[in-house]
Structure formats: C-alpha cells, structure tokens
Amino acid sequence: MLEGKAAFITGAARGQGRSHAVRLAEQGADILAVDVCAQFGDLPYALSSPEDLDETRRLVEKAGRRCVTAVVDVRDLQALDKVVQSGIGELGGIDIVLANAGVFHAGIGEHSLDDVARNWADAVGVMLTGVFNTIRVVQQPMIDQGRGGAIVITSSMAGLVGAHDGSGGVAGYAAAKHGVVGLMRGYAKILGPHNIRVNTVHPTAVNTPMVTHPALADYIEQNATVLTPVTRALPTQMIQPSDVTDAVLWLVSDAAKYVTGVTLPVDCGVALA
C-alpha cells in the first residue's frame, strides 16, 4: 500500500509509534523514527531508551525497509528541523508524518505550584507544541517535493470528551489532545491545496507502558469519583497498539485519499457517552 513512500514518526521507540513504524514498513515505507529516549519531569513510568529505538530500527529493517533513527525532543524545534533535513537527505523525502509522541502524568502527586506548572508545561510541550514543531519542520519540504502526502496526529478520546481531574499533568494532557484538533483543522485547510491530508486519531486506553504502569492503576482506583466517568459502548477496556495502527494505515493510504480534517475515534464508543 505504501511502496516508495517515506514516513516520519515521533515517539517511535516503542508502543504505538513502534507499531506504526513496523506496519508501515511492512507495507513498503521507509521510516524516519525519532524519540526522546531519556527521562524527564515527574512522570511515574520509565520513558523509552536508546535500546528501544534500536529495536524499532531492527524490526523495520527486518521488514525489508530502510530506517533512519535519531534521539531528539519534539519540544526542540531547531534540533527537530536538523533531524528532518538529514532524514530527507537519506530517504529522499517525506510522504507521511505521524505526530505520535506523548506523555501522561496520571498517577503522581502534585504537592506545590511548581509541580503543577512543571507537569502542565511537560504535557502541553510534548503533545501540543511538539505536534506544532513536527508539522512545522515538514510542511515546506512536503509542499516543495510536490507529491502530496498525509499527516496523522495522535490525539485521544480525552481530546473529544474532556476527561481529566484538574491536575496540571492530566489537565495538560486533555488540553493538548483537544488543542491538536485545532491544529489539524487549520493545517488541513492550509495544506489541502498541495494534496496533503491532515487528520487526528483518537484512541481509548491502549496497552502501552504509558498506560499499564502500576501507578496509573492505583490512581484510577483512588480517583474513580473524581475523574470524568469513561463509558464504552463496546465491551473492551483496553485496545492494542496494532488496533490504532489499523486506523492510521487507512488514513495514510490511498484508500483514504479524499479524507482530510477528520477526528477518527478508535475508542470503543467512548465518544458516544
């Protein structure tokens, strides 16, 4: 489905990002895979490592495609631009962009205003500013190469129903996931004349390290009456990264060549609540 194309994926060292990278490679795409590969802030779980990113590269190459990797923080616009320019030089362009990098602070205590401010800044920095930066560094190269393309931003069901508890990190997560919808709609209009499509995908809980760590389970149990209730129409509490990849692959393929500006839920019907 993607023979001869190249995809740029953020947050690609593991989880949804790795799933996307491997599936797109299996469908013929070369991959530019980036991740921060370092711990920061007060996150209650371990972030990816350089070894995780190496494993993504190994799996992409096992699928028979080229994989360029780089350790970079999506909040650093200049560094991200250098990585993309280098990747374009090696892969011959960028046709697909998956703005996937994300963090989730649920499961930690915020004991001071400094804690609240830091967690808010980390959440919005990675998942809103980071998405803006990701698109900013690829939009002109994609326009200049003149072959169209597709951009998919990973939002969340929390970007449709507003589930959060008011804390800095969790509120920042929901605000960022809502905010990228506005970015998506604006870019869909800006880039549409160049045949570049832009959409968001909105998963429910996905079986990744960001969601399955013990601190989050404890947090959900302790805050069941505080958090916005989550009701699913389908009898599934958690989906797999590959389930999100199914939707992403469709959005970036020619099967969705006239689909742009949409918020696609992969949420077991949470948005119906």
Q: Which residues are catalytic?
A: 173
CA distance 250 to 187: 19
Rg (CA), the chain: 18
User: Of 182, 165, 184, which is closest to residue 174 (Cα–Cα)?
Assistant: 165
151 closest CA partner among 4, 5, 8, 3: 8
At residue 32, φ and ψ (nearest 5 deg) are -105, 105
Q: In this structure, are residues 33 and 60 in contact, taking their beta carbons and an 8 Å threshold?
A: yes
Dist. CA 95–CA 147, nearest whole Å: 8
CA dist., res. 199 & res. 149, Å (int): 12
